[in-house]
Structure 1
Amino acid sequence: MLATQVFARFAHEASRRALPSEVLHHAQRAVIDWYASLYPGLAMPAVQVLEATLAEDLDRGHARLALGRAATPRAAALINGTAAHAAEVDDSFRDAMYHPGAATIAAALAAAQATKATGLDFLRAVVLGYEVSTRIGVVMGRPHYRFWHNTGTMGSFGAAAAAGSVMRLDEDSFAQALALAATFTAGLQQSFRTEAMAKPLHAGRAAEAGVLAAQLAARGMRSSLDVLEGESGLGHAMSNGPDWSQVGATLGSDWHITRLTFKNHIGCGHTFAAIDGALALQRVHGFSHADIESMHLGVYQPTLDIAPHVDPQNADQARFSLHYMVASALVHGSVRLSAYEPARLNDPATRALMQRITKSLDPEVDAGFPGRRAARVSITLLDGRRLSHLQPDRKGDPELPLSDADLEGKLLELAAPVIGEVEARALLARIWALPTNATLPT
């Protein structure tokens, strides 16, 4: 069987049996985190420009934007998917180097609203989107991630699988939806190396592409089912011709959705191990940022590539600045939304500490990527002490997971300023009730 057919067979079989309760629980955790990411993203310039541009597709249709405005399913997926990635707070699956939630859940929700699906149908779609897209990302591997933004490329498959599940596509049509999604995949890393405003559009476009692929497949549109492994297919065109033979080997036994990373800081996740390591040294040895003579960060290559800014000039660049995020954490104790406000961006103490930070590739740390996201932090204090710490994982990784209560707190922190605490708590209750409730979260 071709890879698209393997996934379609799994989706068909999954639609006929109950999912494990643990899997559903992790899907609910992913949905909570998606909403926590969505609401702060609404205020980002990219989302506001997008919503104004798509005015003709709003105030009509059977789907809705985050704050309740009617929209066509494709427009809702595009705008909500963009918003869920815009604040850099969304989940990731390490081995696929990919943020699956932004596009997958946006597409699942838009399709579920349009078809009046149940809460359980919605959760099943989320699970299928994660399981399919993360496996494609794993096969495409690090060669793909060198140039491509996996949230845009792999996200198209997550969105197509999720929308196809909600729309109850038959086995052949589901495979066709994935094949169609393959030709929609896009998202270049260069687009956010110097200016990151357009980066969240990759997630939004992936969500829209997946919904469109499922809609087309439902009406009989066909594509080449060998589009992943064919000689001119995705694997050869956008990676190093990887082996697809085992892409579905663990479907239904190793549930990827149970091994997600949820962000404990706000910004580029490639900086988080260094942040956690620096804070760990500060906590154990009791020094302040003013006591630091110098600091060196040993990191893996994508940290150097994707968080390169040593003198960020705006909030977008600061979210992708290893120097800024580590220094801000040591000066202020954490990296929350407030870290990107103008006063904090120009904080003299943070800027001074940034000048005392250096970084380089650490071969041992790099060898563990993408399965582990580590950093080596070395600090020399003014009193002569030399401190070093290898941070093997980030808080929020499967090895150091956020609890249900942590995720609830994250949603309340990020959603309550937008919708109010009462509505944020009601949203949490609706998400936890999804397996037995016909009502969707929004």
Structure 2
Amino acid sequence: MGATMSDSVIRAFAAWGADPGPGVDDAGIRHHAKRAVVDWYAALVPGAVESPATLMEVALAEDLDRGRATLALGRPASTRTAALINGTAAHTVEVDDIFKDAIYHPGAPTIAAALAVAQESAASAHDFLRAVIVGYEISTRIGAVLGRAHYRYWHNTGTVGAFGAAAAAAALYRLPAERFAHALATVATFAAGLQQAFRQDSMSKPLHAGRAAEAGILAAQLAREGVTGSSDVLDGEAGMGRAMSENADWSGAAATLGRDFHIARMTFKNHACCGHTFAPIDGALALAREMGIGADDIARISIATYAPALAVAGERSPSSAAEARFSLPFVVATALLHSSVRLAAFSPARLGDARIRALMERIDLDIDAQADARFPGQRSARVRIDTRDGRRGEYFQPHRKGDPELPLSDEDLSAKFRELAGPVLGEGAAAGLLAQLWALDAGVALPTLRNVPTA
């Protein structure tokens, strides 16, 4: 029968999740949780008015306009449907957070589930933030153990994200340790999301995050009613570690819970595209500034970075916004021509821009052995630019702006929120929501939007 519930790694996660101790109430840790929630809303709001979220509202109409949970703009929804659609929306425009050691976007599934359950159960903002922290801490550790080998075929936000959602939901439902463990055990067998699903133009990638959010809530609801799961589903002979990774070592996975908070080491995106492209973008912009050149001065650009960046974001001829977000040549060329990579970078006009396409043809991609060896803990790139007048410059970008080593400030996060949410909500509503988010730990109310018309 394998490990019993009393000696499994799932039991260790659940014991902490059900009673996480005083660390989760530390003011500094709670502030990091607020930063994650502000960033999640910055990703959620613009994604809510894009497909696939808009198409999901049509497809899932029977689950809308009823229930205690709400979609991004305030439309009532059943709990699991709200999590499904909001989790999808928060991952759609590629600006959601990253825990780099797990190659994973925790916010989209975890916060979507936490908010929906908190709304359903009329939880306080304090309990909502606590659940977010619990979901982040448990899921990021599972993702770190599964490691780079898991990322070869699986989309960690879909697989690992299911644990973040289940843990957050279990915390809000106040499941005792035994039932909390069954929620985690059950959601392990729901975990899915294939890399191949976004190696070409499709809407599958954000759906992975939404499905993880929905699956996590379902697993917690089932456990609440007494449905049991397999205690050794992570570390057993045919468990997740064996099936979906290589040499997964669970022995110390829960050792630092409550002492070392991963939510304090999040990466918050500074560009609206795949995070694997960020070090090349930052390095190319820095080198162009250092050399005092513009895009038209460039004869050739060479970018060397870690192998998964090229596997995931090596698209040479993107024909859609989805493909362009995963095209290193496109986003680097866009950054050099327009100084940034924001949502406007993926408009039809930019996708067909002849100057961008011409510069893309002058960009070479390669694997840097040192950068590859340091992945996933460090996301770096080497950039070389040759100019038309015969000069050459080289630059090493050790981290991405937004990584814990080069963090975005609170004001940076507020500016990101206003930039992304303002055009959808209107400046007044966006400012009001932002104020609610930064005040989450000072009051008892959850953030609210009630059927806000789009601007």
The two structures have a TM-score, normalised by structure 2, of 0.96
- CA RMSD for the aligned pairs? 1.0
Distance 1:165 1:345 in 2: 44
Match of 1:246 in 2: 252
Per-residue Cα deviation, 1:117-146 (whole angstroms, up to 9, x for no partner)? 000000000000000000000000111010
In the alignment, is residue 424 of structure 1 matched against residue 430 of structure 2?
A: yes
Match of 1:79 in 2: 85
Equivalent position to 2:191, from 185, 202, 205: 185
Distance 1:374 1:18 in 2: 32
Match of 1:232 in 2: 238
TM-superposed CA distance for 1:199, in Å, is 0.8
Match of 2:124 in 1: 118
In the alignment, is residue 153 of structure 1 matched against residue 124 of structure 2?
A: no
Match of 2:12 in 1: 6
CA 419–15 in structure 1, closer or farther in 2 if over 3 Å, else same: farther
Q: Which moved more, 1:338-347 or 1:43-52?
A: 43-52
1:329-408 pair list within 5 angstroms: 329-408=335-414
Match of 1:218 in 2: 224
Match of 2:444 in 1: 438
Distance 2:79 2:19 in 1: 26
Per-residue Cα deviation, 1:361-386 (whole angstroms, up to 9, x for no partner)? 11111011000000110110011111
**Contact 2:99–2:140 under 8 Å retained in 1:** yes
Per-residue Cα deviation, 1:159-198 (whole angstroms, up to 9, x for no partner)? 0000111111111111110001100000000000012322
SS class of match (2:52): helix
TM-superposed CA distance for 1:14, in Å, is 1.6
SS class of match (2:236): coil
TM-superposed CA distance for 1:16, in Å, is 6.9
TM-superposed CA distance for 1:305, in Å, is 0.7
Paired residue total: 442
Per-residue Cα deviation, 1:82-122 (whole angstroms, up to 9, x for no partner)? 00000000000000000000000000000000000000000
TM-superposed CA distance for 1:345, in Å, is 1.1
Match of 1:101 in 2: 107
CA 275–216 in structure 1, closer or farther in 2 if over 3 Å, else same: same
In the alignment, is residue 168 of structure 1 matched against residue 178 of structure 2?
A: no
1:3-82 pair list within 5 angstroms: 3-14=9-20, 19-82=25-88
TM-superposed CA distance for 1:10, in Å, is 0.8
TM-superposed CA distance for 1:3, in Å, is 1.1
In the alignment, is residue 133 of structure 1 matched against residue 139 of structure 2?
A: yes
In the alignment, is residue 256 of structure 1 matched against residue 301 of structure 2?
A: no
Distance 1:190 1:314 in 2: 17
Distance 2:291 2:38 in 1: 35
Q: Which runs of 5+ in 2 are unaligned?
A: 1-6, 449-455
Distance 1:267 1:441 in 2: 27
**Contact 2:283–2:397 under 8 Å retained in 1:** yes
Per-residue Cα deviation, 1:310-349 (whole angstroms, up to 9, x for no partner)? 1111111100100000000001110000000011111111
Distance 2:87 2:10 in 1: 24
Distance 1:127 1:35 in 2: 16
Distance 1:214 1:420 in 2: 36
Distance 1:256 1:287 in 2: 39
TM-superposed CA distance for 1:430, in Å, is 1.1
SS class of match (1:59): strand
1:312-331 pair list within 5 angstroms: 312-331=318-337
Per-residue Cα deviation, 1:282-331 (whole angstroms, up to 9, x for no partner)? 11111010000101100111111111211111111100100000000001
Distance 1:195 1:342 in 2: 15
SS class of match (1:68): coil
Equivalent position to 2:276, from 270, 290, 295: 270
**Contact 2:23–2:29 under 8 Å retained in 1:** no
**Contact 2:98–2:268 under 8 Å retained in 1:** yes
SS class of match (1:323): helix
TM-superposed CA distance for 1:436, in Å, is 2.9
Query: Which stretches of structure 1, 4 residues or longer, exceed 4 Å deviation after superposition?
Result: 15-18
Q: Which moved more, 1:236-245 or 1:333-342?
A: 236-245
Distance 1:144 1:179 in 2: 18
TM-superposed CA distance for 1:9, in Å, is 1.1
TM-superposed CA distance for 1:410, in Å, is 0.4
Distance 1:363 1:383 in 2: 30
Distance 1:374 1:296 in 2: 14
Per-residue Cα deviation, 1:210-269 (whole angstroms, up to 9, x for no partner)? 000010000000011111001111000101141111001111111000000000000001
Distance 2:57 2:138 in 1: 29
Distance 1:380 1:299 in 2: 18
Distance 2:33 2:52 in 1: 27
Per-residue Cα deviation, 1:12-31 (whole angstroms, up to 9, x for no partner)? 22267762111100000000
Q: Which moved more, 1:53-62 or 1:425-434?
A: 425-434
Q: Which runs of 5+ in 1 are unaligned?
A: none
In the alignment, is residue 297 of structure 1 matched against residue 303 of structure 2?
A: yes
TM-superposed CA distance for 1:44, in Å, is 2.0
CA 291–185 in structure 1, closer or farther in 2 if over 3 Å, else same: same
Distance 1:71 1:157 in 2: 22
The two structures have a TM-score, normalised by structure 1, of 0.99
